[in-house]
Amino acid sequence: MRIFSGIQPTGRKHLGNYIGALVQWVALQDRGDAIYCVVDLHAITVPYEPTALREATYDTAATLLAAGLDPGRCIFFRQSDVVEHTELTWLLSSVTSFGELNRMTQFKEKSGSQRDLVSAGLFFYPVLQAADVLAYRADGVPVGEDQRQHVELMRDVAERFNGRFGQTLVAPEVLVPEVGARIMDLQHPERKMSTTGGSEQGTVYVTEEPANVLKKFRSAVTDSGSEVVRAGDKPGITNLIDILAAVRAVTPEEIEREFGGTGYGAFKTAVGDAVVEYLAPVRERYRELRADEGELERIFEQGADKARAIASGVVADVRRAMGFGAIRSGG
């Protein structure tokens, strides 16, 4: 099974990224053919600073490698280093409808916050995302629940292409972890943890100092009552239970049983302590990796060579199916 997933180099990576995506990415390295990408081209669909983008790309790469991605067990590269992604985006635009893109929830949310310019790139974002995956004929895409709509679009695009031009692309399946797929903001548990749309006090960063992490958990918003139990009217406690279950790799029900008679204050401290311990190895390894940008570039370059070897063949097949280029003898 071949899997592909990418992550934007926007902002510091937080606990939601780590639990919802990176842990699964690491595990999937040993379950199949894994391809991972820092999607810097996606990052330019909203206002950005070039210097900050470059720094954030290195930050993201160091975080992913510190989390356990191993270039010897997966293909890991920077999206903009493989031009097949952008070419395939344009080719796939011919089988992607305006209506589909206009219905994308993420476009509606992000475009609403852009006052000066809503870029065409933001609207076209899902097509580039489809190209990212379809260029490698990936069977599965490990993503958070909020990205399910985009994977469904990839499937529709692949199936529409195959129906029109012949069997060429693979329609991927979405792979969402059962626990921790959607970690919420500690201060606003009705919305997901985010470096762009979340609160600073409610966002726990992977490389954050332990004292800050503990402070954020101790001040996390809870709910009425005192029972440590998941419920629709208890989004704060439900979020903390899900976080601790993911960190300990147990079920939420086990957490409920263990802390059933515990007050909210003690429970929040226990979750904070567990998260600090959980992230400690990653934080230490990150510092070592981030200090050597030359080594990060070397890893990117090697990964891009491997990625290009696959994507170039797929794009060549797409071009041929669509009628571009000379007809090969015997073809």
Q: In this structure, is the dihedral angle defined by the CA atoms of residues 123, 127, 130 and 132, taken in order, positive or negative?
A: negative
Closest Cα partner for 83 from 124, 135, 44, 137? 135
Distance CA 286, CA 282 (A): 6
At 299-323, the pLDDT tens digits run 999 999 999 999 999 999 999 999 9
Residue segments in the chain with a per-residue pLDDT below the cut of 50: 331
Q: Label residues 282-302 b or e (16+ Cβ within 10 Å = b).
A: bbebbeebbeeeeebeebbee
User: Can you list the domains of the chain with their CATH numbers?
Assistant: 2-175+292-322 (3.40.50.620), 210-288 (1.10.240.10)
Distance CA 245, CA 180 (A): 8
The pLDDT value given to residue 331:
46
The pLDDT value given to residue 263:
87
Closest Cα partner for 44 from 81, 89, 80? 80
Cβ count near 116 (within 10 Å)? 5
Distance CA 71, CA 295 (A): 12
* Residue at token pair 């475009």: 111
Distance CA 36, CA 171 (A): 18
Query: What pTM value is reported for the model?
Result: 0.87
The pLDDT value given to residue 192:
86
Residues 38/78, Cβ–Cβ less than 8 Å: yes
- Between the alpha carbon of residue 117 and those of residues 46, 47, 178, 313, 318, the distances in Å are 9, 9, 37, 36, 33
Cβ count near 259 (within 10 Å)? 21
Please tell me whether residue 232 adopts helix, strand or coil conformation: coil
